[in-house]
């Protein structure tokens, strides 16, 4: 990859920052649960202080640097959630609330938002690996609905390392989408394990 920062790099870094902010909220919850995960996770996977991209990125290895940032925030999320639920399974509801609240926090949608805008908002906020991974593909999209399918899971390796269940991640992700769409008159539906739909009203 050429040593040039383009809009796609800032777009991806913003998604990393959104997930990092969710991790910070979950680490706060872990402390309320009596776990001290922050120090260990910071030591292994970096702290939550994500500086402006053009100040920190390795311009000689843009792709590799961004992939490393993705991996670090994915490991932190998987390990933190798994450790909390191993100690206090009932905390899953609080973790779901964190995801839903963050979805609403980062939403730019309104009642007038189109399906296209809502689908773009989902893609602009959820972290699904690198753009070249081509994780999701649109099945159908029109003024009334958008259906997309996930063709690859780029998250399972992190949850396997954490000895967690990646299905928990996807249930939390659903909460984030519900929060994201809560400011718009748009419905979210999980049609099966890999197919998703948003529709008007």
The DSSP annotation for 34-102 comes to T---HHHHHHHH--S----HHHH--TTSHHHHHHHHHHHHHHHHHHHHHHHHHH-GGGHHHHHHHHHHH
The per-residue pLDDT for range 99-145, each reduced to its tens digit, is 999 999 999 999 999 999 999 999 999 999 998 888 999 999 999 99
Residue 70's pLDDT band (boundaries 50, 70, 90)? Answer: very high
Q: Taking the domains of the chain in order of start, what are their residue ranges?
A: 7-200
**H helices then E strands: how many in the chain?**
8, 4
The per-residue pLDDT for range 19-52, each reduced to its tens digit, is 999 999 999 999 988 998 999 999 999 987 889 9
Q: What is the pLDDT of residue 3?
A: 58
How far is Cα 49 from Cα 145, in angstroms, rounded to an integer?
Answer: 38
pLDDT score of 1 more than 60: no
């Amino acid at each position: 990859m050429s040593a040039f920062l383009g809009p796609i790099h800032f777009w991806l870094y913003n998604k990393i920052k959104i997930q990092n902010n969710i991790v910070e909220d979950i680490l706060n919850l872990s402390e309320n649960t009596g776990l001290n995960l922050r120090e260990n996770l910071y030591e292994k996977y970096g702290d939550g202080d994500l500086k402006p991209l053009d100040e920190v990125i390795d311009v000689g290895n843009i792709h590799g640097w961004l992939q490393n940032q993705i991996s670090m925030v994915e490991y932190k999320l998987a390990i933190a959630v798994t450790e909390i639920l191993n100690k206090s399974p009932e905390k899953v509801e609080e973790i779901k609330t964190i995801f839903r609240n963050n979805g609403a926090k980062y939403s730019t949608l309104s009642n007038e938002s189109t399906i296209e805008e809502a689908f773009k908002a989902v893609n602009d906020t959820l972290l699904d690996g690198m753009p070249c991974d081509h994780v999701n593909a649109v099945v159908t999209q029109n003024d009334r609905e958008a259906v997309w399918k996930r063709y690859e899971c780029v998250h399972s390796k992190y949850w396997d390392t954490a000895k967690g269940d990646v299905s928990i991640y996807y249930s939390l992700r659903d909460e984030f989408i519900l929060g994201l769409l809560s400011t718009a008159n748009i419905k979210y539906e999980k049609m099966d394990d890999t197919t998703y739909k948003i529709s008007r009203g």
